[in-house]
Amino acid sequence: MRIVFAGLAAIALSAGPALAKDRAAVKIECKETATNLVYDCMLHLSGRKSEKPIEGARVAVKPDMPTMPGAHNIRASTATPAGTPGAYGFRMKLDMYGIWALKVTVTGPLRDIVVQKIEFRK
Amino acid sequence: MDDHVITVLNNIGGFSFIALSAYLLLLSGEISFGQQAFYGIGAYASGIMTAMFGMSFWLALPLAMLVSGLAAALVGGLTLRLRGLYFAIATLAFAETIRLILVATTWQVEVDGEPVGPNGSEGLGNIRWGFDNEYEPVDFLWMIYGTLGIVLLLFFLMERSRLGSIVRTIGADRLLAETQGINVTRYKILVAGLAGAIAAIGGAFYAHIQTTVYPENFDVMLGVHSLAYGLIGGLGTAVGPILGVLLDVGFLEAVEWVQGYRMIVFGGLVAVLLIFMPRGILDERRVHRLRTMLRGWRTETHGAAGN
């Protein structure tokens, strides 16, 4: 019985929240291209505490529609450096207009996940 | 394996739990438009436990199932007298109540200097157990399908057991079940609770893959889909609702031109199937035929091996 309790305690405590020392602050601006539902987006990445732009990060952006969770399986877009420090650009094709949650996964100098809800209109 | 394919498979697996949950209720003769509430309770409860209180997912998952199962059993108990359309509307009303409670709920604690917890319409974020423990989507794939395998095995065992016969009898004719001495009330509450617990598994996985969940994730659209999966795939076996999910997420995903019109195509698919196959593709008759064929094939194989 003691072993069972010890096992349960180990499972319960094995993975406490270990938030990164600094988190990513993400600002996304998107503009529809000449093609309907295709957006050119600019992502500004900085440290939440340091407020310094983060360069050299690998950034992936995956949209999901909150009102239809998991129903739209849109490929993640890879954001690439766009000239100014902390700026990354990416193109994204959505299935429909409306509110989307963009999951931004950052790896490299800082590792983080940030989700942002944005409304996309025609 | 390609990351996108893994994401699609994870979604198929995640939806399978809520589809099985609605299927279990359909077997007992109840149409629920509210299973998304238990998916949501599973997502929020497990997310709160891992993000706010630092629990492991593997402990949070059964606890979330318990919370959701108890809530579902309570709803099952309260709606015992309702049947058919009235039951369906009551479950929908309950689900909308839960969603609105989530919109109105703000409860945050500080974890490493960050506010963490449900924040009304902004949802519950920072569900980082998978991310902090460096779980990749492929790891979630194994976790989801391992759990789905266990749930399916339990379904197959249940369908061959006395409990399975009782549930199907209640679903076919409640009065007949009562005249046979079956305690319908007890079994209805049990089925509702089990269905709630199963839906919670899908929600818990969804929350930990997405890392953020919103109240609108659990609106009526998800409930309608979960019900439709069983009706499309068939009520003859637990594989039926999973076939329904595969047809929706898998097939519609594969056909690119459909994607912008998926709800229209999905609605049409449900309507056509319900006209020509009222109890779905894998209905009881087809499943029986398949089983007989399989048994015959096995007998022939063993007979040939014996000779």
pLDDT reported for residue A18: 43
**Domain count for chain B:** 1
Query: Can you give the pLDDT at residue B307?
Result: 59
B-chain CB neighbours of A71 within 8 Å are: 11, 225, 249, 262
Question: A interface toward B at CB cutoff 8 Å?
Answer: 8, 11-19, 23, 37, 62, 64, 66-73, 75-76, 95-96, 101, 103, 113, 115, 117
- The total number of structural domains in chain A stands at 1
- pLDDT for the residue B259: 66
Q: Judge whether A10 lies within some domain.
A: no
Residue A16: band (very low, low, confident or very high) from pLDDT cuts 50, 70, 90: very low
Q: What is the pLDDT of residue A15?
A: 45
B97: in domain? yes
Average pLDDT, chain A: 86
In a domain, B9, yes or no: yes
pLDDT of residue A13: 47
A106 by Cβ neighbours in 10 Å (0-12 / 13-18 / 19+) ranks as: buried
Helix axes B35-47, B3-27, angle to 10 degrees: 130
SS3 label, residue A8? helix
Residue B305 domain flag: no
Is B298 contained in some domain? no
* Closest chain B CA to residue A106: B131
B37: domain range?
3-281
> CB pairs below 8 Å between A and B: how many?
93
Judge whether A29 lies within some domain: yes
Could you tell me if B15 and A70 are in contact, meaning their C-beta atoms sit under 8 angstroms apart? yes
Smallest CA-to-CA distance from B205 within B141, B150, B134 is with B141
Q: Is residue B304 part of a domain?
A: no
| Chain B residues with beta carbon closer than 8 angstroms to that of A95 | 259-260, 262
Chunk chain B into consecutive blocks of 10 residues (it has 307) and report each block's average pLDDT, rounded to whole numbers: 89 96 94 96 98 97 98 92 89 96 96 92 95 94 98 95 95 92 94 97 97 96 92 92 90 70 81 89 90 86 68
Residue A80 lies in a domain: yes
* Residue B214: Cβ within 10 Å count: 27
**Burial (0-12, 13-18, 19+ Cβ within 10 Å), A26:** buried
| Residue A3 included in any domain | no
- What residues in A contact B217, CB-CB < 8 Å? 66-67, 69
Amino acid A20: pLDDT: 45
* Angle (nearest 5°) at CA B70 between B245 and B56: 75
Q: What is the DSSP letter of A64?
A: E
CA distance B111 to B130: 16
Residue A19 has what pLDDT? Answer: 44
Q: Which ipTM score applies to this complex?
A: 0.82
Alpha carbon A30 to its chain's center: 14
Among B54, B56, B116, select the one facing A11 at the smallest CB separation. Answer: B56
Instruction: Tell me, yes or no, whether A1 lies in a domain.
Output: no
Average pLDDT rounded to a whole number, residues A77-83 = 94
pLDDT at residue A3 in the model: 52
Higher pLDDT, A7 or B295: B295
Q: Which residue has the higher pLDDT, A105 or B273?
A: A105
The angle subtended at Cα A43 by Cα A39 and Cα A45, nearest 5°, is: 170
pTM listed for this prediction: 0.90
pLDDT confidence band for A17 (50 / 70 / 90)? very low
- 3-state DSSP assignment of residue A5: helix
B116: domain CATH number is 1.10.3470
Among candidate residues A12, A110, A48, the one with its CA nearest the CA of residue B112: A48
Q: With 90 as the cut, is the pLDDT of residue A8 above it?
A: no
Interchain contact, B3 vs A23, CB within 8 Å: no
Q: Is residue B248 part of a domain?
A: yes
The Cα–Cα gap between B232 and B225 comes to: 10
CATH of the domain at A80: 2.60.40.10
Domain ranges, residue A108: 20-120
